[in-house]
Amino acid sequence: MPITRLILVFVAASAGILLAGSDGGVKPDEVLIGQCAALTGPAQGLGSGMNLGLRAALDEANAKGGVAGRKIRLKAADDAYDPEKTVDCTAKLVEEDGVFALAGFVGTPTAKVALPIVEEMKVPLIGLFTGAMLLREPVQRYVFNVRASYDDETEALVKHLTGTMGLKKIAVFYQNDSFDEAGLSGTTKALAARGMTLTAKSAFERNTLAVKTGVAAVLAADPDAVIIIGPYKPSAEFVRRAREAGMKKAVLAAISFVGTENLIADLGAQADGILISQVVPSPTDTSAPLACEFQAALKSADPKAVPSYVSFEGYLSGRVLLAALEKTGVELTREKLVHVLAQMSSFEIGGMKLGFSPQRHQASTAVYLTVVKAGKAVALGVN
């Protein structure tokens, strides 16, 4: 039995928890949704962004009367991007707080330990801020991903770096935990498909800024490009130290989990030129219906908030959850919601095409490449 299951069973037994309890979180006038995310710590910007986007979507729906006469309420808890806290957080939300479903979790290592809990408690988990394949293959019955995978993102980056830009020597700087199984693996597969291998790889530990050794290892390989797989704080530290150490010509790229606006705010002018793959369109686009709807909902939820890629993803995840709740109807059960989600084979939200199936719990494969120019992420195109 995996260690996370042992932990869960021990916690459940000691607290008198029945894992297969009845559906909770549904009242005549309310549905309660739970979120565990990094609301403090070095990944705080990511958790707060997802939380803001989710709240904007739910507030927007509630202002129109909710779903089937019920208001949709979000209860968020902080796991500080720490898997041990995620275990406690998830179990508490379901068993003590009585949420009906979960949404907006942040990160691969945290999602990994939430999986056995979700499976045991049979609670739907929708719209996680991670592209890890462990959430996608094999299909997890109670997990529904909205965004593209890290395989999708790294394929798009490698295609651009090696194809469009003609670069040959690609290195990876990554977080040394289950996150590396996702981003590093995706990059390796994308290179292998082109008959190429990694020039170098180096790692840092989660929730630290210990990047010095990693910088030295990558620098020694003299790469043409470095794909960075991590949240904004250590990624920014890597960029600063690498450039201080003399890495001037190598192209730097990052996947969406970096938190674009947080990275730019941390690095300032040093962020210019960094390629970043995104899984939602530009949050400031005034020509795209979905972006316009997001901007209006965000302004209503928090007039001072600035649109970001992370909060836009949170909003999209919230909209997908709301669409599924609407289709499920008044007689709301978790199993019915899971069935409805799996049958939503083709639908649109604000012009963005999405779709699930029983064999594929990932609604979108779209990747949008951007490059930072003058402190803003500018679109390169859609892959």
Quote the pLDDT of residue 176: 82
Lowest mean pLDDT among 4-18, 110-124, 363-377: 4-18
Domain ranges of the chain: 3-148+287-354, 150-278
- Residue 2, pLDDT above cutoff 80: no
Q: Whole-structure pTM over 0.85, yes or no?
A: yes
Residue 127: pLDDT over 90: yes
Instruction: Give yes or no for residue 356 having a pLDDT over 60.
Output: yes
- Point out the least confidently predicted range of 40-44, 195-199, 315-319: 40-44
Residue 10 pLDDT more than 70? no
Supply the CATH classification number for the domain 150-278: 3.40.50.2300
d(CA 86, CA 99): 15
| Per-residue pLDDT tens over the stretch 211-238 | 888 899 999 999 999 999 999 999 999 9
pLDDT number for residue 294: 98
State the pLDDT at residue 324: 98
**CB proximity list for 46: less than 8 A, separation 6 or greater:** 37, 38, 81, 106, 107, 129, 231, 232, 257, 259, 262, 310
Instruction: Identify the band that residue 8 occupies on the pLDDT scale cut at 50, 70 and 90.
Output: very low
272: helix, strand or coil:
coil
Q: Kindly indicate the confidence band of residue 180, based on its pLDDT and cuts at 50, 70 and 90.
A: low
What is the band of 11 on the pLDDT scale with cuts at 50, 70, 90?
very low
Contact assessment for residue 372 and residue 379, using Cβ atoms and an 8 Å cutoff: no
- Beta bridge partners, 254, equal 228, 276
Which pLDDT does position 263 carry in this prediction? 97
Question: Which pLDDT does position 382 carry in this prediction?
Answer: 55
CB atoms within 10 A of CB 225: 23
What pLDDT, on a 0 to 100 scale, did the predictor assign at position 383?
56
pLDDT of residue 235: 94
| pLDDT confidence of residue 311 | 98
Q: Is the model's pLDDT at 305 over the cut of 70? A: yes
Question: Can you tell me the mean pLDDT for 288-312?
Answer: 97
pLDDT, mean over the chain = 92
Q: In the beta sheet, which residues pair with residue 81?
A: none
- Digit-coded pLDDT (tens) for 23-48: 889 999 999 999 999 999 989 999 99
Which pLDDT score, from 0 to 100, does residue 204 have?
Answer: 86
- Per residue in 137-172, pLDDT tens? 999 999 999 999 999 999 999 999 999 999 999 999
pLDDT > 70: what percent of the chain?
92
Split at pLDDT 50, 70, 90, the class of 208 is confident
What is the rounded average pLDDT of the residues 66-74? 97
pLDDT of residue 183: 84
Q: Which residue has the higher pLDDT, 237 or 17?
A: 237
- Pick the closest to residue 271 from 369, 172, 374 (CA basis): 374
Can you tell me the mean pLDDT for 268-296?
A: 96
H runs (alpha helix) in the chain: 3-15, 44-63, 83-95, 108-121, 150-158, 178-192, 212-221, 232-244, 260-267, 289-301, 309-328, 334-342
* Residue located via tokens 């986007």: 53
pLDDT at position 365 is: 97
> Is pLDDT of 205 > 70?
yes
Of residues 254 and 21, the one with the higher pLDDT is: 254
Judged by DSSP in three states, 377 sits in strand
Of 3.40.50.10490, 3.40.50.2300, 1.10.287.130, 3.40.640.10, the CATH number of 3-148+287-354 is 3.40.50.2300
Q: Give yes or no for residue 112 having a pLDDT over 50.
A: yes
* 291 pLDDT above the threshold of 50: yes
CA distance 308 to 294: 10
Question: Rounded mean pLDDT of 285-297?
Answer: 96
Domain 150-278 in the same topology as domain 3-148+287-354? yes
The whole-number pLDDT of residue 181 equals: 63
Taking residues 99-118, report their average pLDDT: 96
Q: What pLDDT is stored for residue 381 in this prediction?
A: 62
